[in-house]
């Protein structure tokens, strides 16, 4: 016998006493750590960038473009954006960046999203780090109790995400005006916004909750042909939920960054017409 001839000392998990006496926490020979490492790096980069931008409270409007981080803008300290997504619901007592008010919703949507949950449970919490690789925690209760039981509210964030997507659609429509509010304009920014809004909608509609509400909850598709079609459509998107989650994350950051570059005067928006 080569290694580990003794049974385990009942230290739990794969080292429970009754299981095959193998001391290694896993025997994978592939680069199993690569996927969680890349995921962690990607998510971390976004968190850093978005925190900086959300709290900076500056360079978020360059007519006709408003950063998706600051839309809709719900406090008195918002920049005035002619016909833009201004709605002073919070009044003057809100002193810090107005982005914080609205970012709660997309953030909550993504935080409770079934794909992102997998991504951060694996990459940040190592629960598990990869399939058949032992996790480092002694106890595990999953989403059975507070706080993780709150993941079940994903559906309500989905409803809010729909509203946010509508506002961002409105913003994209406004980007067809020139800085003097005349229609018939299109710049590079318009294109960036178009791509972003398509991805945002695709991601939002590909959500598992959406799939459920649209038709997944039904027992008999045959009695609801329209909802069945809708369910099938959402199902096709849903199969790409992970790709859409990443694509829309990148596109929303890029859209914001583009506005930042314009607003801070790095360059002018190239116009197509």
Least distance to another protein from the beta carbon of 246, Å?
16
Interaction of residue 182 with another protein, rule CB under 8 A: no
Residues that bind another protein (rule: CB under 8 A) add up to a total of 62
Closest to another protein by CB, 11 or 83: 11
Nearest residue to 120 (alpha-carbon basis) of 129, 131, 108, 132: 129
- By C-beta, is 59 or 154 nearer to another protein? 154
131 binds another protein (CB under 8 A): yes
Q: How many CB atoms lie within 10 A of CB 142?
A: 10
Separation between Cα atoms, residue 258 and residue 175, nearest integer Å: 13
Q: Which of 87, 127, 159, 268 binds another protein (CB under 8 A)?
A: 127
* Owner of token pair 């829309």: 248
Q: Measure Cα distances from 207 to 102, 105, 152, 218 in Å.
A: 20, 15, 13, 17
User: Which of residues 41, 45, 58, 132 is near another protein by CB under 8 A?
Assistant: 132
**Toward another protein, which CB reaches closer, 79 or 117?**
117
Interaction of residue 240 with another protein, rule CB under 8 A: no
- DSSP letters, 86-144, are B--SSGGG--S-THHHHHHHHHHHHHT-HHHHHHHHHHTT-SSSSTTS--S-S---TTS
Choose, by CB under 8 A, the member of 37, 87, 143, 240 that binds another protein. Answer: 143
Nearest-CA neighbor of 53 among 75, 39, 68? 68
Q: Which residues pair with 73 in a beta bridge?
A: 86
Structure-token pair, residue 176: 């067809």
Q: Does 227 contact another protein by CB under 8 A?
A: no
Residues within window 21-80 making contact with another protein, judged by CB under 8 A: 21-22, 26-30
Residues 12-31 that bind another protein (CB under 8 A): 12-14, 16, 18-22, 26-30
Per CB under 8 A, residues contacting another protein are 1-7, 12-14, 16, 18-22, 26-30, 114, 117-118, 121-122, 127-128, 131-135, 137, 139-145, 148-149, 152-155, 208-209, 211-212, 216-222, 228, 238-239, 241
């Amino acid at each position: 016998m080569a290694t580990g001839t003794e049974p385990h000392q009942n230290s739990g998990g794969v080292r429970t006493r009754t299981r095959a006496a193998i001391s290694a926490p896993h025997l994978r020979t592939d680069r199993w750590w690569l996927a969680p490492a890349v995921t962690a790096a990607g998510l971390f980069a976004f968190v850093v960038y978005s925190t900086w931008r959300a709290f900076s409270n500056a360079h978020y409007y360059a007519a006709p473009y408003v950063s998706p981080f600051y839309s809709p803008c719900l406090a008195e300290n918002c920049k005035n954006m002619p016909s833009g997504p201004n709605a002073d619901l919070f009044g003057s007592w809100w002193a810090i960046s107005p982005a914080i008010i609205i970012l709660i919703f997309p953030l909550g949507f993504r935080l409770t999203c079934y794909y992102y949950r997998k991504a951060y449970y694996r990459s940040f919490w190592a629960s598990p780090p990869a399939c058949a690789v032992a996790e480092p925690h002694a106890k595990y209760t999953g989403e059975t109790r507070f706080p993780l039981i709150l993941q079940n509210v994903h559906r309500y964030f989905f409803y809010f995400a729909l509203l946010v997507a509508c506002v961002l659609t409105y913003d994209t429509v406004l980007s067809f005006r020139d800085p003097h509010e005349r229609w018939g304009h299109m710049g590079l920014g318009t294109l960036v916004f178009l791509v972003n809004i398509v991805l945002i909608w695709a991601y939002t509609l590909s959500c598992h909750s959406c799939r459920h509400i649209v038709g997944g909850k039904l027992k008999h598709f045959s009695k609801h042909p329209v909802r069945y079609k809708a369910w099938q459509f959402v199902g096709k998107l849903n199969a790409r939920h992970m790709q859409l989650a990443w694509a829309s994350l990148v596109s929303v950051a890029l859209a914001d960054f583009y506005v930042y570059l314009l607003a801070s005067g790095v360059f002018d928006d190239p116009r197509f017409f």
